[in-house]
Each structure stands twice: as structure tokens, then as C-alpha cells.
């Protein structure tokens, strides 16, 4: 009997109450040996009544002698866009966004300085009119205290001259002097001039500028010595406070979409504030991110990969001697896998960023987390010899679940830890001495009652090898989660390939997957060849083979799951995926029309040729089709043919499965015209099809949209699995 909508809504409402850790910060006063540890954590949670994500902060007091934590009541911090505590723990800077009273609906931004349990200073940044909005995204944002704790460093939108029409009626009387009128006179006829942006989720971000707020004078100063051909980001102070370092993205020849893309050409720069000298520390032709100074100020590290190519790939961990400016790799690229210090396999670094504080107390070791096959694993590397050791949980040989390091202070480490069957919580440990890191002992800071519906499920990692091929890369994997103890042939299967294509599924809590298994589905999450976390050769294998190798991998994984788990019903297999996952499920329904009985595709790529001229990442279209992107050239017929041959639209006439399309009207990554093209094509071919169009972006992550889309997806499957 089909599951009713009310039942799914009830399950969703219960699951939506589960918060997720977003960040953690160990207070310096509580990191000394033998003392209680004070930990601040921030969490996000869906608020269905308000239709938005809310954030709250919790304080944890941990007694190391008893391994017990006392939690204070949570405090709502939803209006805090950025927050940073000073090194002394005596000051806190907060960038707060609150709704404006004006008619334009824009938020107002305030920079608050808290000191000695009170609001010490408050800057109305809009009224000061020194710059545009402060950047709060992961790719650009910064909020950093100077070593002397009298200045704040951040990144904002560069202020542009005001503009107005050639003719605009004005008040007859004006008290301003002619001089002031000329000084503030808007530029005429410039209000419609196009200004390039940084794409999906970065609308309105045109040109960034670094700003220093001097708390003694109250003045905001824009730093103008960074060349205008770059957009600065991720800035921090040098150890002596006389300069800054940061990332700078190249503006030319075109600003390509930046979110989810680690391949954008960029530099690590140093700007001397006393001399005004700008210098580049990294090498040309690279893509860099996450600069981090060691506690003793002797080393600067960052993540680095070649610019261009796949939107995400393996990265090197680079180290710069701050005294000599000599740069060497600590961890290089891993083509397939290598064995690390405690005998475990290591597939390379695929992290999008490093923790804000990632160094051991002695400035000799760096801690980081990265996807590895089916999970996120955490590591420590000794910069003296490059030895890498996995920080295992909870004992040597454990495989289930994922752990992400959130903060490190004086060898105290806090990590987010969870799995598909257990929502993420916080764990804490003392980092053992060098060479003994594998003996790390974790204690739980937060504990959740594991959801009963998930504890009854079975999770299986599935290593797979591509069949009937002599390809140089054959290994891939999948994760299966489904109900246990069910009769043979009684469980429908959702085949779920990830997007990207250069991302991966890991063993972490997912609200959507929880809903699927709770109402009785098995879910197969496939990491086909081209996924990250399996060696860089796997990433580089897929371009030119999209629409073929990845499609075959997903179908092979589905057949393997049907064989391995007899409870699954081969006549009730459905497809679910978004972005490149949508590309794959539309391919599968066209290439294997008799194997799948229903499809849900979220913002799917259906025609790469058409998308190449309208996406914020046109280079993706060329790269995945095995071509070279050149923004100065016009696409050729042969290039369009190559893109079309990769695309699922060519198989649309074969499709039989009822197909539900979910599209974001504000999607710049895969514009929703892609989905509409597929809808009209299927409709003309007599296929049962339906489309939902949301006022949302590529990820369809707004709370009301998320709720509507997942519930409608499951109802679509229930209606069409028979």
C-alpha cells in the first residue's frame, strides 16, 4: 500500500528537528592541561514554521578527568553572519545582518565589537558608506583580529560610483554647496552597465576589496595596493601585524562561477602595510585556497592544485617558510593510493578548505579532513618529514562514519562525527605526541539518541570494479542503506548518483536519505569513476567519458545491489539525482528504459551543447566533453557535436519511465531552460512527465523548497512503482 503524504510530512517534521554542527571554537582559557575545557559550538537547524534555517550557539564545559560535558542552554545567533573571537579570548567581533526598515528589503550590516561582557563598539557599515556589502560566503569571507587586537580585517564589495538616468527630476531647493553637489554627483547613464559577477550563490559579488577597521580611531580603510586585476579573498594578518596575506582570484579574461569550483586560477599574495608592497608567494597557473599561519609564525600553509580542468580534484598541501619565502609541498598529489604511517590507505586531499585553526601547539603538525572513498577521514601530517597518520575512530580498524575536524588549540582537537545512521555530534581529544597519533582517544561532547528508524537499517560499503573494459581506472564504490529483515523482493530501490561529477557520497547523516529508508526504500548512493576521494587518476579519468563510463558504473552498481541484497525488488527500481546526478538519471532512463520505473531529476544537465553558452561555468561543458575551454574563441560545430554526444537528450525518445523534474528558476549553474527542454521533449514523446519550478537556486536548499521537493519526489515514486 502506498505511503500517504501525511505520513511523509510527519516523518519530515520529526527529522527536520535534528540540528547539525556548523563550527566549533575552543576557548584559550580552557585549553591548558588539567583544566576544564570551554567549547563554543554553532549549529544549524530547519525551522519549518519560519521557513528558514536558524543558527544557535551552545557552550560546553568539559571535565577531562571525568570525560563529562555540561551544556549551557542554546542561544539563537541567526543574525550573526560572521563571528571571530580574539586570540586573548577578551574580544569578539560579530558581523550582524538585520532586516532594513527601508522599502527595498535589503538587510543592514553592523560590525559589533564585544568586550568585557558588553557591546563595546558598533559600526553601521551601510551608513559609513566606505564599501558595499561585507562578503560572508566561504570562498571570499574573512573576519580577523590583528595580533594587537585593535584592528579588524575583512572583505567587502568595492564601492562603485552612484548612477542615475540622463534625466531625473530633482528637488528645487538644496542646502548642499555646489562643491558637494559635484563631489557626490552620480554618473549619468551608467545604471544599466553590465558588471561581471562570480556566478551561482555569488550574485552581486563583482569586485572585492580588503578593509581594515581601526578600533582606536573608528576609521574604515580600504587597501588599494592590490592590483585591480585580482579579487582578494580569505585574508589574514601576518604574524607581526604589519601585513596581510590572502587568496586573490584572477578577474580576467572572465569571472567564472566560483562556488563548488576549486579550479579557478588564483594566487597567494602578501601585502606589506608599512611599505605598501604587493608580492606573490605561489606559482603561476595554480588554484589556491585556505592560507593558514603556524602558531609560532614561522610557516604559512595552503591548499593548491593546477588551475583549469575538472572543477574539483586532488590538491597539494604547500608550506612556505615565512622567513625565506621558500615554498615546498608537504603532501603531493596521490594518483591512486599510498600507504601512510599507521598502515592505512590514503587517496589524497580533496578538502575544499582547511580548519581555521589546524596546527599543533609546537607548529610542527597540521590537521585536516578529506573525503576518502565512502567516508570523510581526518589526518595529521608532520611538516618535517611529510608523515601522514589517520586519526582513527573509535579504534584501529573502524570504518563506519565520517569525522571532520572543526578546531585545534594547544593540541586539543574537536571534531564533528556522524554517519548515515547517526546524526553528527561533537567529539574531543588530546593530540598524542608525534608518531603516536594513531593512539588518539576521543570523548563525546554531545550525544544524540540515534533515530530508531535508522538504527534498524543496514549500511554496506560496496567496492566495485568496472566490467568488460580495459580502462586504466576501473575501481569505484557505492554505499547502500536499507531496511533489515525484509522478505525477498519486498523493498523498492532508489538509485542515487551524486552530482558534480567530481564530488562523492560519504557516510554522513542525510535528512533526505533518512526519509527514503524510513518509508521503506533501499537507497544506493553511487560513487562512479570520476568521483573524488579515490585518487586523482579517477577524477581525471571521467572527462571525455561522461554519459558513458559514469552511466555504466551506476547501472552496474544497481545490478550489484540487486544481487547482493535479495530483499530488493528489481521491478521497483527508481532513479533520483540532481545536477550531474540528474544528467545520469536521465541518461539511465534513456539507455536502460526497461530497468527503471520512475525518475526524479533535480536541475539536471540534459544538453551540454546548449548549456555551454548560458551556464556560469561554461568551462565545465568543455572539460567534461574532453575539450579545451577558450573564452576568446567561438564554439565550433565539432565541439558542439562532442557535447551533444555526451548528453542524455539524445536518448529522450527511448524513455518510458514517468519523470518528475524539479527546477530552480534562479539557477545559474544549470539554468532551468535545460529541464524545460527535457520536459517538452518527453511530453511530445508521450511520456508521463511533470515539472516543478521553484524560486530557488541550483541546490534547491531553501527550507520550504527542500520540504516540498523531497515529499513530492517520494510521492512520485509511490505513485509509479506499482
Nearest Cα to Cα of residue 287 among 316, 260, 266:
266
| Dist CA 200 CA 210 (whole Å) | 22
| Dist CA 597 CA 154 (whole Å) | 52
Are 81 and 95 in contact by the 8 Å Cβ rule? The answer is yes
Query: How many alpha carbons fall within 13 Å on the CB side of residue 428?
Result: 26
Are 524 and 568 in contact by the 8 Å Cβ rule? The answer is no
| Dist CA 290 CA 442 (whole Å) | 26
Are 676 and 707 in contact by the 8 Å Cβ rule? The answer is no
Give the helix ranges, DSSP H, for 85-145: 125-128
| Dist CA 196 CA 208 (whole Å) | 12
> DSSP class of residue 134?
B
Q: For 394-456, what is the HEC assignment?
A: CCCCCCCCEEEEEEEECCEEEEEEEECCEEEEEEEEECCCCCCHHHCCCEECCCCCCCHHHHC
Q: Edge-to-edge strand order for the sheet containing 278-280?
A: 230-237, 243-250, 266-272, 278-280
Q: Strand ranges (DSSP E) for 207-285? A: 208-214, 219-222, 230-237, 243-250, 266-272, 278-280
Residue 371 C-alpha cell reads as 573525503
Which residues have C-beta within 8 Å of that of residue 557, sequence separation ≥ 6?
Answer: 462, 464, 476, 478, 495, 524, 526, 528
| Dist CA 509 CA 403 (whole Å) | 11
Q: Is 175 left (phi over 0), alpha (psi -120 to 50) or beta?
A: alpha
List residues with catalytic annotation. 579, 667, 698
> Three-state DSSP class for 584?
helix
| Dist CA 578 CA 583 (whole Å) | 7
- How many residues in the chain? 722
Amino acid at each position: 500500500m502506498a505511503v500517504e503524504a501525511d505520513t511523509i510530512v510527519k516523518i519530515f517534521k520529526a527529522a527536520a528537528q535534528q540540528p547539525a554542527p556548523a563550527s566549533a571554537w575552543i576557548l584559550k582559557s580552557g585549553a591548558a592541561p588539567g583544566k576544564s575545557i570551554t567549547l563554543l559550538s554553532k549549529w544549524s537547524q530547519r525551522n519549518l514554521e519560519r521557513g528558514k534555517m536558524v543558527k544557535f550557539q551552545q557552550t560546553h564545559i568539559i571535565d577531562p578527568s571525568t570525560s563529562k560535558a555540561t551544556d549551557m542552554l542554546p542561544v539563537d545567533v541567526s543574525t550573526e553572519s560572521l563571528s571571530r573571537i580574539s586570540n586573548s579570548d577578551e574580544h569578539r567581533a560579530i558581523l550582524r545582518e538585520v532586516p532594513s526598515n527601508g522599502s527595498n528589503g535589503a538587510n543592514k550590516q553592523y560590525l559589533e565589537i564585544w568586550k568585557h561582557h558588553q557591546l563595546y563598539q558598533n559600526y553601521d557599515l551601510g551608513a559609513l558608506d566606505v564599501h558595499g556589502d561585507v562578503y560572508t560566503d566561504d570562498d571570499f569571507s574573512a573576519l580577523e583580529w590583528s595580533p594587537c587586537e585593535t584592528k579588524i580585517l575583512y572583505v567587502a564589495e568595492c564601492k562603485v560610483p552612484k548612477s542615475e538616468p540622463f534625466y531625473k527630476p530633482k528637488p528645487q531647493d538644496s542646502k548642499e554647496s555646489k562643491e558637494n553637489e559635484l563631489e557626490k554627483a552620480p554618473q549619468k547613464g551608467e545604471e544599466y552597465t553590465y558588471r561581471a559577477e562570480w556566478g551561482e550563490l555569488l550574485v552581486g559579488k563583482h569586485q572585492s576589496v580588503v578593509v581594515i577597521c581601526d578600533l582606536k580611531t573608528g576609521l574604515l580603510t580600504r587597501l588599494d595596493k592590490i592590483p585591480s586585476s585580482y579579487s582578494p579573498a580569505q585574508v589574514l594578518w601576518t604574524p607581526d601585524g604589519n601585513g596581510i596575506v590572502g587568496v586573490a582570484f584572477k578577474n580576467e579574461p572572465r569571472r567564472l562561477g566560483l562556488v563548488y569550483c576549486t579550479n579557478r586560477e588564483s594566487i597567494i599574495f602578501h601585502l606589506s602595510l608599512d611599505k605598501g608592497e604587493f608580492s606573490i608567494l605561489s606559482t603561476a597557473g595554480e588554484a589556491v585556497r585556505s592560507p593558514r599561519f603556524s602558531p609560532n609564525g614561522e610557516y604559512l600553509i595552503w591548499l593548491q592544485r593546477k588551475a583549469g580542468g575538472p572543477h574539483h580534484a586532488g590538491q597539494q598541501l604547500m608550506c612556505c617558510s615565512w622567513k625565506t619565502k621558500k615554498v615546498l609541498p608537504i603532501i603531493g598529489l596521490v594518483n591512486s593510493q599510498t600507504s601512510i604511517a599507521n598502515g592505512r590507505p590514503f587517496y589524497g586531499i580533496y578538502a575544499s578548505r582547511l580548519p581555521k585553526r589546524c596546527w599543533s601547539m609546537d607548529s610542527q603538525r597540521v590537521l585536516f579532513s578529506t573525503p576518502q572513498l565512502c567516508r570523510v577521514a581526518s589526518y595529521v601530517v608532520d611538516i618535517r618529514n611529510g608523515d601522514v597518520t589517520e586519526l582513527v575512530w573509535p579504534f584501529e580498524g573502524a570504518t563506519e562514519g565520517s569525522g571532520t575536524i572543526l578546531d585545534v588549540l594547544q593540541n586539543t582537537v574537536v571534531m564533528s562525527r556522524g554517519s548515515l545512521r547517526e546524526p553528527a555530534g561533537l567529539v574531543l581529544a588530546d593530540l598524542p605526541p608525534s608518531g603516536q597519533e594513531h593512539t588518539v582517544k576521543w570523548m563525546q561532547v554531545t550525544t544524540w539518541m540515534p533515530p530508531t528508524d535508522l538504527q534498524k537499517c543496514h549500511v554496506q560499503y560496496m567496492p566495485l570494479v568496472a566490467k568488460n573494459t580495459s580502462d586504466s581506472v576501473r575501481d569505484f564504490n557505492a554505499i547502500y542503506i536499507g531496511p533489515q529483515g525484509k522478505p525477498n523482493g519486498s523493498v523498492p530501490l532508489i538509485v542515487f548518483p551524486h552530482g558534480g561529477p567530481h564530488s562523492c557520497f560519504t557516510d554522513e547523516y542525510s535528512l533526505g536519505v533518512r526519509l527514503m529508508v524510513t518509508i521503506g526504500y533501499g537507497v544506493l548512493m553511487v560513487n562512479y569513476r570520476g568521483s573524488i576521494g579515490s585518487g586523482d587518476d579517477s577524477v581525471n579519468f571521467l572527462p571525455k567519458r561522461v554519459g558513458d563510463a559514469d552511466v555504466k558504473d551506476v547501472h552496474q552498481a544497481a545490478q550489484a545491489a540487486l544481487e547482493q541484497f535479495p530483499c530488493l525488488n528489481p521491478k521497483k527500481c527508481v532513479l533520483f539525482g540532481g545536477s550531474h546526478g540528474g544528467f545520469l538519471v536521465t541518461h539511465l532512463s534513456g539507455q536502460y528504459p526497461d530497468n527503471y520505473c520512475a525518475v526524479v531529476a533535480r536541475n539536471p544537465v540534459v544538453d551540454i551543447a546548449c548549456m555551454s553558452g548560458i551556464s556560469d561555468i561554461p568551462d565545465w561543458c568543455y572539460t567534461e566533453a574532453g575539450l579545451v575551454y577558450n573564452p576568446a574563441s567561438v564554439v565550433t560545430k565539432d565541439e558542439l557535436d562532442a557535447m551533444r554526444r555526451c548528453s542524455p537528450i539524445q536518448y529522450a525518445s527511448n524513455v518510458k519511465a514517468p519523470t518528475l523534474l524539479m527546477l530552480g528558476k534562479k539557477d545559474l549553474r544549470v539554468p532551468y531552460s535545460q529541464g524545460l527542454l527535457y520536459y517538452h521533449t518527453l511530453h511530445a514523446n508521450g511520456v508521463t512527465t511533470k515539472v516543478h519550478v521553484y524560486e530557488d537556486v541550483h541546490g534547491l536548499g531553501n527550507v520550504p523548497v527542500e520540504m516540498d521537493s523531497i515529499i513530492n519526489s517520494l510521492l512520485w515514486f509511490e505513485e509509479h512503482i506499482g
